[in-house]
């Protein structure tokens, strides 16, 4: 999911949590993106920074994609292979990052990335993908946008994450700095500068276990990143969540989206 070995270590303890607790990409979104991009069964798709393989496996299952998934973290790749086996789809998963993009991967009809592009040298990655992508092919960045939902457990989680994880505070400050450019800025300056966003909005119901699992799926608040603070973090989070909702009921309104980038 990242581009250098040191950063990849931060995801070593998150694979099990990632698959179970991260916001999933709905089948309807995958199908809409496949239709919009004109993807055809049997074409080659690269899931770059694939993590446990949700995107690549979904495209193999729903669109008949010939999938190659790449990620630096072996634990994530093992989770992806097991998930593909359980889904009954054929997909190849190999260790590597955006620095390992080479001619042997092409021609690609589609490259998809789920919450991984920000770890990469974004301009260089797009330049490399331009040489590997067939005419009419596309790059699609998948992500999610959260809409306020009472009680505000997300605000609570962000506050506790910043308190317990110095990396969370550093990441927040980085995103707020004048030097940080959004993904759209890099895409518009690349060959893939024809942009279209497709989204699906849903309401999801959560428990305290779901929220704790979500926290441990994040690189900055993973069990490995928190180290000796992990138990105290979990205890504080569960205590604050219980105070927030006596019935233990939480929800989220979330838009999952695909930002489709094609050559103009």
Helix axes 153-164, 208-216, angle to 10 degrees: 40
Reply yes or no on whether the pLDDT at 1 is more than 80. Answer: no
Tell if the pTM clears 0.85, that is, is over it.
Answer: yes
Reported as a single tens digit per residue, the pLDDT across 212-260 is: 999 999 888 998 889 999 999 999 999 999 999 989 999 999 999 999 9
Report the distance separating Cα 195 and Cα 191, nearest Å: 11
Quote the DSSP letter at residue 178: T
At 117 the pLDDT is 95
Reply yes or no on whether the pLDDT at 196 is more than 60. Answer: yes
Reported as a single tens digit per residue, the pLDDT across 42-101 is: 999 999 999 999 999 999 999 999 999 999 999 999 999 999 999 999 999 999 999 999
Reported confidence tier of residue 203, pLDDT bands at 50, 70, 90:
very high
Q: What are phi and psi of 26, to 5 degrees?
A: -65, 145
At 176 the pLDDT is 60
Cβ atoms within 10 A of the Cβ of 244, count? 17
Reply yes or no on whether the pLDDT at 20 is more than 50. Answer: yes
Report the distance separating Cα 47 and Cα 86, nearest Å: 18
Cα-Cα-Cα-Cα dihedral sign, residues 44, 50, 55, 56: positive
At 166 the pLDDT is 80
- Reading the block at residue 22, the tokens are 């991260």
At 255 the pLDDT is 97
Exposure of 147 in the CB half-sphere (CA atoms within 13 A): 9
- Reading the block at residue 197, the tokens are 């966003």
Reported as a single tens digit per residue, the pLDDT across 126-180 is: 999 999 999 999 999 999 999 988 899 999 999 999 999 987 766 666 666 667 8
Q: Give the β-pairing of 91-95 and 194-206.
A: unpaired
Residue labelled with tokens 């999610």: 144
- Reading the block at residue 140, the tokens are 């699609």
107: preceding bond cis by omega (within 30 degrees):
yes
Tell me if 54 sits within 8 A of 76, measured CB to CB. no
């Amino acid at each position: 999911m990242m581009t250098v070995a040191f950063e990849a270590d931060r995801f070593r303890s998150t694979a099990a949590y990632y698959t179970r607790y991260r916001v999933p990409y709905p089948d309807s979104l995958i199908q809409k993106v496949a239709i919009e991009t004109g993807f055809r069964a049997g074409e080659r798709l690269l899931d770059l920074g694939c993590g446990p393989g949700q995107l690549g496996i979904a495209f193999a299952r729903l669109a008949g994609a010939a999938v190659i998934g790449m990620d630096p973290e072996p634990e994530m790749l093992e989770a992806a292979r097991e998930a593909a086996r359980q889904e009954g789809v054929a997909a190849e998963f190999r260790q590597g990052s955006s620095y390992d993009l080479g001619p042997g991967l092409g021609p690609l009809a589609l490259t998809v990335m789920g919450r991984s592009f920000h770890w990469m040298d974004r301009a260089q990655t797009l330049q490399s993908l331009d040489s590997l992508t067939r005419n009419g092919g596309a790059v699609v960045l998948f992500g999610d946008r959260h809409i306020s939902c009472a009680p505000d457990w997300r605000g609570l989680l962000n506050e506790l994450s910043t308190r317990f994880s110095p990396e969370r505070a550093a990441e927040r400050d980085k995103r707020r700095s004048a030097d940080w450019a959004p993904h759209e800025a890099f895409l518009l300056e690349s060959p893939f500068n024809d942009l279209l966003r497709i989204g699906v909005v849903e309401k999801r119901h959560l428990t305290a276990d779901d929220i704790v699992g979500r926290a441990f799926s994040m690189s900055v608040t993973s069990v490995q990143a928190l180290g000796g603070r992990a138990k105290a973090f979990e205890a504080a989070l569960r205590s604050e969540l219980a105070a927030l909702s006596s019935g233990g009921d939480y929800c989220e309104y979330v838009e999952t989206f695909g930002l489709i980038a094609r050559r103009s």
